[in-house]
Amino acid sequence: MAEPSTISPAPLLKDELDIVIPTIRNLDFLEMWRPFFQPYHLIIVQDGDPSKTIKVPEGFDYELYNRNDINRILGPKSSCISFKDSACRCFGYMVSKKKYIYTIDDDCFVAKDPSGKDINALEQHIKNLLCPSTPFFFNTLYDPYRAGADFVRGYPFSLREGVPTAVSHGLWLNIPDYDAPTQLVKPLERNTRYVDAIMTIPKGTLFPMCGMNLAFNRELIGPAMYFGLMGDGQPIGRYDDMWAGWCTKVICDHLGLGVKTGLPYIWHSKASNPFVNLKKEYKGIYWQEELIPFFQSVTLPKDCTSVQKCYIEISKQVKAKLGKVDDYFNKLADAMVTWIEAWDELNPSGAKSAELSNGASK
């Protein structure tokens, strides 16, 4: 008897999600992601020398933007987009017209679960984003919406509906996302622990957001995903995703949105140079002792009913309170406003889609 033919299910959110990749090199790493990424549209943000040609494997649907494109599209407002730093990825968030974003670094490879099966990180992120979060009361069985789990005894029934999930924060096997001092004292440490868990980060709790394996609902939280002023001409680096994470979490808490962390894992293939990292981070290591209490104390007024209004309010508080720490924060606060202005220009309110003359489409 002939075997019945199997029809592969259509990829989740195929026409509603963009994959954003910042890079300075050829994207050979996409070959291993082909089974999972090929159905989706890619937005590649080329950092560094715009005259360099970035090679992308055949068969991917993508558009590529370099610094010349960023300057052309944003004009004077391009000053808010970092140069010579992966923070430039947030330009991709701005020009996307999709509801969801997944962003990944080009040194992140396909990981395997404990059974040896390849992990479809994108699919798991989508599942995280499509099911609710529970930020107001912690469930000791972690995500109650996963198969085999539920709300435990004592969990209020009035909170079991959950809230929309805005952010899905994934993790990494092999090279952990450590700061430079930790890298220096643990140069050989590798993360081999696969923890099969997803949890909602509780309301009022900040977290260190890593941008190398991250997905979010662009319609719910996109304007808050600004990766700041980093890299060329700036006194700090490697805090781009941290800054976006702190701002995003404060706004999610205010607007009643959820942030999940845990699965999926990717395989982080190489460690960056800890001495180079220390040069980029050292001011941030001092400053974060002021930054964390600042974000813990931020309150947003009731009339901040949109992400943009919340973000502008945070920028004002950054200038008023962190400007005393260093003049860099005055520049950053101004860039935060410029970012929102540029976002709104490219994403007019109420428009389902905006036509944009963009980079090289393939």
The pLDDT of 307-322, averaged and rounded, is 98
On the question of pLDDT at 351 being above 50, the answer is: no
> What pLDDT does 358 receive?
38
> What pLDDT does 8 receive?
64
The pLDDT of 118-127, averaged and rounded, is 98
On the question of pLDDT at 354 being above 50, the answer is: no
> What pLDDT does 162 receive?
98
On the question of pLDDT at 355 being above 60, the answer is: no
On the question of pLDDT at 353 being above 90, the answer is: no
- C-beta separation of 317 from 298 below 8 A: yes
Rg (CA), the chain: 20
3-class secondary structure per residue, 175-211:
CCCCCHHHHHHCCCCCECCCCCCEEECCCCCCCCCCC
Closest CA to 90 of 25, 177, 20: 20
- Give the predicted TM-score (pTM) of the model: 0.94
On the question of pLDDT at 344 being above 60, the answer is: yes
Over residues 35-92, the pLDDT tens digits come to 999 999 999 999 999 999 999 999 999 999 999 999 999 999 999 999 999 999 999 9
Domains and CATH numbers, the chain: 14-283+291-352 (3.90.550)
The band of 349, judged by pLDDT with boundaries at 50, 70 and 90, is: confident
Q: Please give the single-letter amino acid code of residue 331.
A: K
> What pLDDT does 6 receive?
54
Q: Which three-class secondary structure state does DSSP give residue 337?
A: helix
> Tokens 């933007």 — which residue?
65
Mean pLDDT (the chain) is 94
> What percentage of the chain reaches a pLDDT higher than 70?
94
On the question of pLDDT at 28 being above 70, the answer is: yes
Compute the distance between CA of residue 150 and CA of residue 154 in angstroms, rounded to an integer: 12
> What pLDDT does 319 receive?
98
Calculate the CA dihedral of residues 23, 24, 29, 30 and round it to 10 degrees: 50
On the question of pLDDT at 359 being above 50, the answer is: no
Residue 244 to residues 105, 299, 311, Cα–Cα distance (Å) = 16, 17, 11
